[in-house]
Structure 1
Amino acid sequence: MKKITFALFLTLLLSVFTSFAQERPAATKVKVTGNVTEKISKQPLEYATITLTNTKNPKSIAGGITNNKGEFDVDVTPGTYDIKVEFISFKATEIKSKNITENTNLGTVGLDEDATQLQAVEVRAEATTVQIKLDKKVYSVGQDLLVKGGTVSDVLDNIPSVTVDADGTIALRGNDNVRILIDGRPSNAINISEALRQIPADAIDKVEVVTNPSARYDSEGGGGLLNIILKKGKNQGINGTIILSAGDPKNYGVSGNVNYKTEQFNLYTTTGYSNRQNNGNSRTDSQYFLDGVTSKYTNERRENERSSEGYNSNVGLDWYLDKSTTWSNSINVRRNSGGNPETVITDNFNAQNIFQYTNYRFNDQFSESKSAEFNTNFVKNFTKEGHKLTIDGSFSSNRDNDNSEITDLSITNTANVQTQQRNIVQTDYVLPLGKASQFEAGYKGDFNKLFTDYKVDNLNAMTGLFENDYRYTNVLDYREQINALYSQFGTKINKFSILLGLRWEDSKITINQLTAADFSTKKYNNFFPSAFFTYEVSDKSSVSLNYSRRISRPRGRFINPFSSLSSAINIFKGNPNLDPSLTDAFDLGFLKRWSKLTLSTSAYINKTTDSFQFVRSPSGEFVDGTPVIYSSPVNLGKETRFGFEFTLNYNPFKWWKLNSNFNFFRNKTEGEYSYTVTEQGLPVTVNESLNNTANSWFTRLSSKISLPYKIDWQTNFTYNGPQNTAQGKNKGNGAVNLGFSKDLLKDKATIALNVQDLFNSRKRITETYLESLNSYSEMQWRTRQATLSFTYRFNQKKGEKQQQKKRGDDNGGSDEFPG
């Protein structure tokens, strides 16, 4: 593996040096610059093409494409040129016989939409599913056949660099300290993993993957951030889409997005209903030791039938107060209810592995969640392009109610009621300085209250009454206040860009365990510097070096001592004494575009202090002679993560698109963990070294082929390599997803079929080695699922380009600079 890593890194360096050697412009050339926009909306057009043909030598042709700000920069030898600016579905603009003898700025070139082309354009020529940029990857959900009828978790699981574990844990480049944003704001969900499984994929427009965010973003998330952007209709007039889906196991739903846009306002809504069932299972085989000698064996088997019925609606209004001012308001409402009947069968064996008896346990769980969120956004664009002020507010309320009745030798009732209120206010100010510099500053206040009431009651067989079990009962009041200020300055000198930023966050965390009468307050403030350096080797290749400091604050079940009791012998226990971890993130990247291929590579190092990891330890309690094992997060110590990844977009033919991603990382942890056990009636402290070095990797390959008769075929293969952990190892695992679609009714409709986990192979497989326990476990959250969907579009063609809102989706400002 070391040789493979070295070869990949050497390939990166050779690519960079080759580009420097082959693409250095001749000293006699001059620059032709400018920017391309939509004439009506004044919004920049990315990937517009610029062609310059020498009038005296037609074979002498130069050209380039615009960046995401619509800017272009072309090197030509002095002479007279015919210049042509083109973009799909827009009328081309030509400048005849332009005499260019020195550096020339053509200014702004505005393109008009070509209504004839829009009606006659081949609708199957869709936008690239994944757009690779130097600082992020943008994933267009609408083009993906594999998520039709699925959820946001299914969407994330198909994105380069992102993995979703069997239990819903989301990781970016192998790091699960990831910040999840929705429309640039933190999600208001209490359990983010579960919430993402409730939001239908059809409500999502695109997802932005930012591996090393700048000072403008929250410092939260040592592994980076994912920004989930919801659909908001943007086309003129009234138009929209309706989607029907059904699948097996039970999975059916309906959703629609409609918008009505005029010169004065844009009214839009996305509303959906879903009813789904996810069948899952798990197994844990354990060998227990007492004083170094085997004492017994257990084989635990679980079967789940999770059901979920949900409704979500997002209604918004963009009000164009004048040509430079927009006020947007939206309301998002979600409601979900479901059950999770779980059967647990545990076979018990003696020290000689001879069967003794079987325990049966049935957990009938019911859950209900409600959330409401109001968002408001004010944007003022000043006279100078890029000069703007934005003010945002987000106010949300969320309530989760989980109840279960556990039946084994007795009856146990659990109730978990969680309520959360989150208020966010933010303002951002962007000021261009000259033609090549930009200043940005802002404030953000994030105020969060989470109240959790978890109760366990056991039936007393003698009295017939339920009695509270104080061991697992807890009331937790968690409050978080974070005030942040940031400033950053960017400039561009020729082909060299610099972005320097500094963010300051003041945090006040209060944790009040009402049941245990334990109150604690944590106050700390931190500076989070960031620095981004980019060199444009040419108009098609760039090199970058980035640094940022990040923080990961423990929340929710990480700090709640008890929030579930699904197993009598394997219990998750939160740790209210967890401290936040701090990460220094370094990233070296290279981006290269060819006519049919886009390559993005990066080498990265993350150094984390007070990293929290999960450890397993005996609780000292026994159930029918079987030790009860706690699984808890602890501040382990230091963690150093080194990795290398590359992402490829390759279109060998018009009818075939390939996307691939490979990530290798090496994770080194240093730390110790102590716990107390009872031996021969006396307490004994066990000190366990958790020093560990682990290598792992994962890869993803997606292929999309356009077949005759307007049939599309998409295949996705994912493999997660094995990885050693501090107390065992995770085994490798692979899965395949498959999808087909066909256009109908003169391309106004599409029918699609997809199969998730085609070979039913997606499982989390772990091995754990402790002084008192060895165990092997498999967990499959969802078995193979097939979904059939029907999409109908009215007043809107498939793949039709939509107008961008005047405010970007990046929650204010931009990492790009004028020039």
Structure 2
Amino acid sequence: MLAKKLFSIPILLCCLISFGQEFTLTGKVTNTENQPLEYATISIQEVETFMEIAGTVTDAAGNFTIESPAGNYILYIESFTGNTYEQPIEVTQNKNLGSFKMAENSVVSLEGATITGSNPIYKMELDKKVYDLSQDQMAKGSSVSDALQNVPSVQVDGEGNVSLRGNEGVRILIDGKPSSLVGISDPATALQSLPADVVERIEVVTNPSARFEAEGSAGIINIILKKGKLQGFNGSININGGIPTTVGASANLNYRTGKWNLFSNLSYRYAERDREGSSYTTRFDSLGVPRYEDMNRESTRINDGYNIMLGTEYYLDDRNTFTVSGNYRYGKNENQSDLHYADYDENLFNVANSLRTEREKEDDYSAEGNFNYKHEFLDPGHEFTIDARGTYSEETEIGDLRETGNAVNSTERSFSSEYQNRFIISADYVYPFGEKGRLEIGARGESEGTLTDFSVDSLSTDGWVSKPEFANRTDYRQNVYAAYAQYGQGFGQFSFFAGLRMENSDITVKSILNENTTRKNYVDFFPSLFLNYEFENDNQLQISYSRRIRRPRGWDLIPFTSYSNNRNLFMGNPDLDPQYTDSYELSYVAKIGKLMITPNVYYSNTQDNIQRYQAINATGAIVTRPINVGTESRYGGELTFTYKPVKWWNMMGNVNLFGYKTEGEYTDTYINQSGASVSTTTNFDGEGFSWFGRLNNVFTLPAKFSVQLSGNYRAGMKSAQSERKPMYSADLSVNKDFWNDNATLSLSVRDLFNSRAFEIESFGDDFYMESRNRWNVRSINLTFTYRFNQSKKDQRREQGEVSGDFEMQGGE
């Protein structure tokens, strides 16, 4: 052992002498106005592996000094906002590299080199948050629904419903527009079927301006699909598999030559989600006598489908571009559930036991076509665009429902179908004037029609007998016509943007079997105002206001849309009105050393608040339906930050604390279990406080390994008829790059501690229920990615080039 130690001494000395031959490199980084950029990251990287040899940050004057050994390397510079610059350098002596000019939010050519606005995994801006899903290791091989759980400000509950800052009134768009990829009446299921591998990034807009459609009282989540732009033929292929059974594959292909750019996105995904659930329910009859129900459920949800997207861009000249694309989606889904019931009387004596089996099969497909024309005038930022989108979607579901036990023996079947068509056309014009002036105007028209059929049959000794109380055929039509104008101007470090949007909504709900028609027509105005101030240190402050609307969705207005569980039903409300929300927000973007932080303070007030009301019907089932009741006020503070404590560790965190207060009451008249007409009034007055947070860590390790570890916590929340319990979870992913960075192998574990459970207490005048549901058990997934003619370096450059290509169009 001593000989080995003595032998290692000269080797160590030789290494020290070799690495001791270092040279000093200096330089300066400024913005396009020659102002110094502080805290820009400077690194010297190996040419083949991109491994960092040395690193530093610029000082307040934008200057940097870095020590590097002799050799050929890549000089890599990244501004605090995520823009990057890289060039090969040869280090043979002490040298001043000169000045590097970087644009904070654009692409700039500098002495033959290119500085691209390459986004990190998360980018904070005053008006939106941008999450680069293509760089999220955890998203590989998962669904969009799973991936959304890592996006700041976004939450996904145990049933897959998406909310923004705890508010479910969120509008989900694809490439800035409503899309059939989000489904007809069940976005949760549609997002579970859509592979995350086809998504480039996700944009979160919590307080949209008048340029965006007014739908979505909580804000907008815009999902941007991948569309390649690199020269030549290139792309990437993903193959994944996991436990519980998950198999998937996707290909993102691109061919660009001359004036043509062809892009495609092909994906297939098969996933089995094992679900667990239990509930304990107490029901009271008209005399207040209780009876009890204990339920345990085991179920498997199978999503099996594929998606094809094809498109082309034609660059007529430097000023005119045409884009035509289309996608086709097909899904074959199944839900297999076994529910074990034990019923007890008021003395807790077991009076009945039964097993209910639910076997539901659903087929859905959609076709979509898109057209875009963009004309760029001679002045930068002066442009005119036209967008058109047409979609057709169809969903059919057949259910086989059986319940057997010592007190019941029933066989039922349910059938539902939905057919939807939608057409949208919009036009937008942007005119910049002076140095900081800007005028935007646009118009939009949308026509939507949805035909819904629903029926339930019961098997008797005489054969199948229809249950007319559940039969429904509804024709839902909605036309929305909109126009907007926005004007902005800057004065030194201060700027403002003011806008007004008008929307005319024409809605008809026709119940064909009941020969009943409900019509709603209303014109609304939605103002917005944004005040911005930029400080000398590039920190920014914004005060914003906007007015939003949440229109009832089709399934909110249709009398019955689900019957799979005959003890818990959901029914729509044809008399449901839209809710209106006024939102105020104060945002600040600050850079403190290696820390970038965005604190937000917000307040919103909602009129005609849409709530879910639960009550017992004549058969003893708990019926849930949406109603308008009173007002709701929300206030809170949100803090989002990114921090790089050392060169191999990146952190991103998001914490949201919010309070809420509801006021109002609802009087319900119904026939109780004894056949008597009863009126009850439920008071919705209440207030509370809740919070949620997430922390994401990415560790860059030697040998091209990287590890991502993230944790989430969601505190409890109480409303007039429910109380949700806290929920926490953690996810882990390990990546390995090889084959000259052309391939990546990713292993991820979602819900590391098997703790992601949704627990809730529901209560009313005549019932009380405790329930616990697990949307999915812990899953393990392995993904292989291969890139051809497209290295990670090329992908990084491409992301910078297209970062602004798919903004949400104003006509929306």
TM-score, normalised via structure 1 length: 0.85
Contact 1:375-1:395 within 8 A present in 2 as well: yes
Report what 1:673 is aligned to.
666
Report what 1:130 is aligned to.
122
Residues 498/360 of structure 1: CA separation in 2 closer, same or farther (3 Å cut): same
- String of CA shifts for 1:460-492, please: whole Å, max 9, x gaps: 2x21x2111111111111000000000000111
Contact 2:286-2:674 within 8 A present in 1 as well: no
Residues 651/512 of structure 1: CA separation in 2 closer, same or farther (3 Å cut): same
- The alignment partner of 1:150 has SS state of coil
Distance 1:806 1:429 in 2: 20
Contact 1:404-1:415 within 8 A present in 2 as well: yes
Count of aligned residue pairs for this structure pair: 727
1:302 deviates by 1.6
Report what 1:801 is aligned to.
797
Report what 2:596 is aligned to.
598
Distance 1:59 1:767 in 2: 55
Contact 1:505-1:526 within 8 A present in 2 as well: yes
Q: Aligned to 2:159, which of 167, 189, 197?
A: 167
Residues 430/48 of structure 1: CA separation in 2 closer, same or farther (3 Å cut): farther
Residues 679/231 of structure 1: CA separation in 2 closer, same or farther (3 Å cut): closer
Q: Aligned to 2:728, which of 700, 715, 734?
A: 734
Say which is worse superposed, 175-184 or 682-691, in terms of deviation.
682-691
- String of CA shifts for 1:697-717, please: whole Å, max 9, x gaps: 111111111122211111111
- String of CA shifts for 1:570-600, please: whole Å, max 9, x gaps: 1111111110000000001111023421100
Report what 1:183 is aligned to.
175
Report what 1:513 is aligned to.
511
1:814 deviates by 12
1:142 deviates by 1.3
- The alignment partner of 2:656 has SS state of strand
Report what 1:585 is aligned to.
583
Report what 1:637 is aligned to.
630
Distance 2:811 2:367 in 1: 29
Residues 35/674 of structure 1: CA separation in 2 closer, same or farther (3 Å cut): same
Report what 1:152 is aligned to.
144
1:111 deviates by 3.1
Contact 1:91-1:113 within 8 A present in 2 as well: no
- The alignment partner of 1:157 has SS state of helix
Report what 1:315 is aligned to.
310
Task: State how 1:101-500 maps to structure 2 within 5 Å.
Answer: 110-111=109-110, 114=113, 127-188=119-180, 189-190=183-184, 191-291=186-286, 293-408=288-403, 409-460=409-460, 462-463=461-462, 465-500=463-498
Q: Aligned to 1:764, which of 736, 758, 762?
A: 758
Contact 1:747-1:797 within 8 A present in 2 as well: yes
Residues 62/789 of structure 1: CA separation in 2 closer, same or farther (3 Å cut): closer
Task: Give the aligned residue type for 2:468.
Answer: Y
Contact 2:431-2:439 within 8 A present in 1 as well: yes
Task: Give the aligned residue type for 1:263.
Answer: G
Contact 1:179-1:225 within 8 A present in 2 as well: yes
Report what 2:10 is aligned to.
none
Contact 1:91-1:112 within 8 A present in 2 as well: no
- The alignment partner of 1:651 has SS state of strand
Report what 2:549 is aligned to.
551
Distance 2:187 2:224 in 1: 16
Task: Give the aligned residue type for 1:566.
Answer: S
Distance 1:349 1:401 in 2: 37
Contact 1:702-1:715 within 8 A present in 2 as well: yes
1:681 deviates by 5.4
Gaps of 5+ in 2: 1-29, 43-57, 65-78, 90-95, 101-105, 404-408
Report what 1:13 is aligned to.
none
Task: Give the aligned residue type for 2:781.
Answer: T
Say which is worse superposed, 797-806 or 347-356, in terms of deviation.
797-806
- String of CA shifts for 1:540-571, please: whole Å, max 9, x gaps: 31111000000000113211211111212111
Contact 1:287-1:294 within 8 A present in 2 as well: no
Q: Aligned to 1:89, which of 86, 90, 109?
A: 86
1:347 deviates by 0.5
Distance 2:803 2:746 in 1: 33
Contact 1:730-1:767 within 8 A present in 2 as well: yes
1:288 deviates by 2.0
Report what 1:20 is aligned to.
none
- String of CA shifts for 1:284-325, please: whole Å, max 9, x gaps: 101122356442110112211111111101111010000111
Contact 1:733-1:764 within 8 A present in 2 as well: yes
Contact 2:427-2:811 within 8 A present in 1 as well: no
Distance 2:299 2:32 in 1: 60
Task: Give the aligned residue type for 1:418.
Answer: E
Report what 2:532 is aligned to.
534
Gaps of 5+ in 1: 1-31, 37-44, 51-57, 65-71, 74-85, 99-106, 119-124, 622-626
Task: Give the aligned residue type for 2:728.
Answer: G
Distance 2:509 2:692 in 1: 38
Q: Aligned to 1:659, which of 649, 652, 677?
A: 652
Contact 2:757-2:775 within 8 A present in 1 as well: yes
Q: Aligned to 2:708, which of 699, 707, 714?
A: 714
Contact 2:735-2:747 within 8 A present in 1 as well: yes
Distance 1:493 1:361 in 2: 68
1:113 deviates by 6.5
1:677 deviates by 4.7
Report what 1:697 is aligned to.
691
Residues 805/814 of structure 1: CA separation in 2 closer, same or farther (3 Å cut): farther
Residues 747/113 of structure 1: CA separation in 2 closer, same or farther (3 Å cut): farther
Contact 1:90-1:112 within 8 A present in 2 as well: no
Contact 2:485-2:501 within 8 A present in 1 as well: yes
Task: Give the aligned residue type for 2:441.
Answer: A
1:61 deviates by 3.4
Distance 1:720 1:109 in 2: 42
Task: Give the aligned residue type for 1:433.
Answer: F
Residues 345/536 of structure 1: CA separation in 2 closer, same or farther (3 Å cut): same
Report what 1:649 is aligned to.
642
Distance 1:812 1:524 in 2: 24
- The alignment partner of 2:629 has SS state of strand
Q: Percent identity?
A: 35
TM-score, normalised via structure 2 length: 0.86
Contact 2:616-2:672 within 8 A present in 1 as well: no
- The CA RMSD over aligned residues, in Å, is 2.8
- String of CA shifts for 1:430-479, please: whole Å, max 9, x gaps: 0001111000000011111111111111112x21x211111111111100
1:395 deviates by 0.6
Residues 281/33 of structure 1: CA separation in 2 closer, same or farther (3 Å cut): closer
Distance 1:647 1:470 in 2: 53
- String of CA shifts for 1:616-674, please: whole Å, max 9, x gaps: 111122xxxxx111011110110101111100101111110111100011111111122
Report what 1:781 is aligned to.
775
Contact 1:387-1:430 within 8 A present in 2 as well: yes
Task: State how 1:43-62 maps to structure 2 within 5 Å.
Answer: 61-62=61-62
Distance 1:678 1:323 in 2: 71
- The alignment partner of 2:468 has SS state of coil
- The alignment partner of 2:470 has SS state of coil
- String of CA shifts for 1:702-733, please: whole Å, max 9, x gaps: 11111222111111111110111111311111
- The alignment partner of 2:541 has SS state of strand
Contact 2:365-2:395 within 8 A present in 1 as well: yes
1:758 deviates by 1.4
Residues 556/681 of structure 1: CA separation in 2 closer, same or farther (3 Å cut): closer
- The alignment partner of 1:155 has SS state of helix
Residues 35/246 of structure 1: CA separation in 2 closer, same or farther (3 Å cut): farther
Contact 2:443-2:811 within 8 A present in 1 as well: no
Contact 1:130-1:138 within 8 A present in 2 as well: yes
1:413 deviates by 1.0
